[in-house]
Amino acid sequence: MQKVYLFLALFFLGNMLLAQEATTSVTTESVIKEVTHPEVKTQNTFRINSKQFEFSPTYYQNGIVYVRDVENAKIDGNIGVSFFELFYAELDGEGMPSSPQPFSTKVNSPTHEGPISFNFTEDAIFYTSNSDKTNSKGKKTMKIFQAQKGSEEWENRTELPFNGEEFHTMHPSLAATGMKLFFASNRPGGYGGTDIYYVENFGSGWGEPINLGPTVNTNKNEAFPHIHESGMLFFASEGHQGLGGYDLYAVNTFERDLNEIIHLGTPFNSEKADFGLILNPTGTQGYFTSSRNGGIGQDDIYLFDAPNGIFSTTVATPAKSPANILVVNEINGEIIPDAGVYVFEKNESGLFGEDNLYDVVLETKDADSEEMEVRFVMKKDLGQPHFYTNQEGLITTELATNQEYLFLVTKKGYANKEVHYSTFDQPSPMKIAIPLMTKTCTNVSGIVRNERTGTVIPNVQISIKSACDGTMQNVSTNGVGKYEYCLPSGCEYDLVVEKSGFLRQGLSVSTKNLTQSELQKDITLSPEKDQPKYAGNTLEEGSTIVLENIYYDFNKSAIRAGAAEELDALVTLMLQYPSMEIELTAHTDARGDNAYNRALSRERAHSAKAYLSRKGIDVTRIQAFGMGEVAIRNHCTNGVKCSDEEHQYNRRTEVRVTKLSENVGVRYSGK
């Protein structure tokens, strides 16, 4: 094993050639707390490690993005190794990465790319790369660049304003709020070598870099910061008294004064260089880099499992802040007492509240189709509200910081109100006003049924035109064929009722001279032709479920972050029905040649299979196939110019039920 930690401290370009002399003296000694981790288990990620360098992973989508040098590629004469690029690897059910592939043809360049960080929604990146210019010494320093997610690739590459040509700025790590960016730099004014800094963004642009001070920084090198959701900042240092080379440390940035750092001890630290640690949101699993003995290459990435967390009671827990929620009349601002308020916190599945608040629903796509769709729909009966407003129209509670919430407010005589609220960077105490609109209308509702069979029809489109002012409103039936809309009183309305596979129907509704506030209006539709066998109420062997909204980037097999909700619904369905076995078939669009698309679709199918496995579905219940471009669903065949949305329609995953012992009823949902 080579001692490569000096090289890594400089990060690709020998930045000791550019390092600034320490211009700030260290006046205090850091208080270092030692921790041990007897229960933590580490594993070499052998599927992605090689004889070369692999280091600095970060979470992205269903895997990690990390840095590696490419064997037999162009050599950087400054350091004697090939240029570094970013690679992506998906994770299996145990967190072990596999099948590395280049991360991006737009981000990777002929020079170096290094540690990368994503924003919360993973549609913006911050990454280290070479400057486009040479400095006064003829060198290209490291800088931090930003890029945005385009329809297919990363675009709009821009340099951050606090970079410089005479010093390095590198190793970005963006806080979950997006308001702070931590990084390493040997800019003038530091304590020596490379220091850890941060900058803040208050919406108008990035501020000036702020040094984390002498508790964290020394007269040697500190680098590779990672800011965790809990507020813990992990970093590597050569300057504190460690076990050898770079050692891993942590500091709680939620503390007002940074006067204590934590040495992570073994097994995270060794006699060699240890750096680039990341931790999952729950603190139970993560990755780090090490050149320790027993590895595969010069620097390897290691997976660790920490069932009890890294710090036990030491780690910062997400803070809570008091919140005052006021419910008022939208027209006159008067307070509304006794209003029911539901408060739902966003969970790991991207849903609000507990998963048991949702039904997994299946729906035939239209009357002349045998295909079905599957998704989550929040239950109509939510039970008693979590709170009722007092006589001042107020409830007082606590909300977690850095979290997203859904408030549902209900009160007789008022229209229900749904409010999404984020606590990111909100002042304490939070003050939230929710206005309700009084019902000055007639509630018109009814059930739409199949005239021939009497079954309810979901997702019927109903357009409502007012004879008074000509305005048009559109509603649709829900899972049990019900529609509902509050029409202003004293007017007549023309309704047009439409559903694919049925004859269109028109009718009139009047809210003139009504003595009641509710009006029932049931509707029947006549089918254009005989109904298909799946228009009834069973899911059986041979049924096909089309997952329309699993989004893949062009030329990629990884599922986009936040684009797997339908797969989560399929997981719930398969957990409910343990006999259910399926075939997953992935389809691509027509771009690219046939052989490539078949291989790409096969990778996408296995990506979906791996996702189901990570969620607890036995892989023996899933077969995965790739069909490539042989089943294009629209006109976007080879050589036809189409928009990305039109191509996206062809990038889908279909699920065919191959075995099902239970009798599964099809539950319809509203849109």
- Do residue 52 and residue 30 come from a single domain? yes
Can you give the CATH number for the domain in which 423 is found? 2.60.40
Q: In the prediction, which pLDDT does 173 show?
A: 96
Residues 126 and 148 placed together within one structural domain of the fold = yes
pLDDT value for 533: 39
Q: What is the mean pLDDT of the chain?
A: 81
Same domain, 98 and 239: yes
- Mean pLDDT, residues 616-628: 90
- The residue that leads in pLDDT, 55 or 114, is 55
Stretch among 182-186, 257-261, 363-367 having the lowest mean pLDDT: 363-367
Distance CA 278, CA 283 (A): 9
Best CA proximity match to 140, nearest among 74, 205, 83 = 83
pLDDT confidence of residue 186: 94
Pull the structure tokens for residue 616: 């607890």
Higher confidence at residue 535 or residue 407?
A: 407
* pLDDT value at residue 179: 82
Residue 236 lies in a domain: yes
User: Who has greater pLDDT, 182 or 134?
Assistant: 182
- Tens of pLDDT, residues 470-509: 888 888 887 678 898 888 888 899 999 988 778 889 999 9
Is it the case that residue 624 has pLDDT exceeding 70? yes
Asked if the model's pLDDT at residue 248 lies above 90, the reply is: yes
Q: Are residues 401 and 519 in the same domain?
A: no
**Residue 118: which pLDDT band, with cuts at 50, 70 and 90?**
very high
Residue 141 is assigned to a structural domain of this protein:
yes
Q: What is the CATH number of the domain that holds 149?
A: 2.120.10.30
The pTM (predicted TM-score) of the whole model is: 0.58
pLDDT at residue 18 above 60? no
Domain check: are 427 and 455 in the same one? no
Task: Give ∠ CA 105-109-111 in degrees, rounded to 5.
Answer: 160
- Expressed in angstroms, the distance from the first to the final Cα of the chain is 59
Q: Residue 108 and residue 130: Cα distance in Å, rounded? A: 11
Mean pLDDT of 609-620: 85
Q: Is the pLDDT of residue 237 over 80?
A: yes
Instruction: Give a yes or no: residue 151 inside a domain.
Output: yes
Containing domain of residue 333, as a range?
322-357+377-431
pLDDT band at 321 (very low <50, low <70, confident <90, very high): confident
Assign 369 a pLDDT band (cuts: 50, 70, 90).
low
- 3-state helix/strand/coil string of 9-74: HHCCCCHHHCCCCCCCCCCCCCEEEECCCCCCEEEECCCCCCCCEEEEEEEECCEEEEEEECCCCC
Backbone angles phi, psi at 109, to 5 degrees: -135, 180
pLDDT at 536 over 70: no
Percent residues over pLDDT 70 in the chain:
82
One domain, residues 258 and 352: no
Mark which of 403, 431, 459 sits at the end of a domain.
Answer: 431
Give yes or no: residues 14 and 138 share one domain: yes
Res. 5: pLDDT tops 50: no
Same domain, yes or no: 503 and 614: no
Overall domain count for the chain: 4
pLDDT value at residue 596: 82
Model pLDDT, residue 556:
63
Average the pLDDT over 9-21 and give the result: 38
Is position 275 within any domain? yes
At residue 472, the pLDDT reads: 84
Does the pLDDT of residue 87 top 80, yes or no? yes
Q: Which two tokens stand for residue 669?
A: 């949902």
369 lies in some domain: no
CATH number of domain containing 607: 3.30.1330.60
Question: Percent of the chain beyond pLDDT 90?
Answer: 31
Q: What is the pLDDT, as a whole number, of residue 535? A: 38
Q: Give pLDDT, residue 81.
A: 57
d(CA 122, CA 562): 9
Using the predicted structure, report yes or no on whether residue 42 has a pLDDT greater than 90.
yes
> What band does 212 get if pLDDT is binned at 50, 70 and 90?
very high
In terms of domains, do 387 and 475 share one?
Answer: no
Average pLDDT over residues 179-194: 93
Give the Å distances, CA to CA, from 147 to 1, 38, 103, 602.
Answer: 36, 41, 14, 29
Same domain, 658 and 559: yes
- Checking if the pLDDT of 316 tops 50, the result is no
Are residues 118 and 220 located together in one domain of the fold? yes
Domain-located, residue 367 = no
Q: What is the pLDDT of residue 74?
A: 60
For residue 242, tell me if it sits in a domain: yes
| Per-residue pLDDT band at 253 (split at 50, 70, 90) | confident
* Residue 49: inside a domain: yes
Average pLDDT over residues 310-327: 70
234 and 280 co-located in one domain:
yes
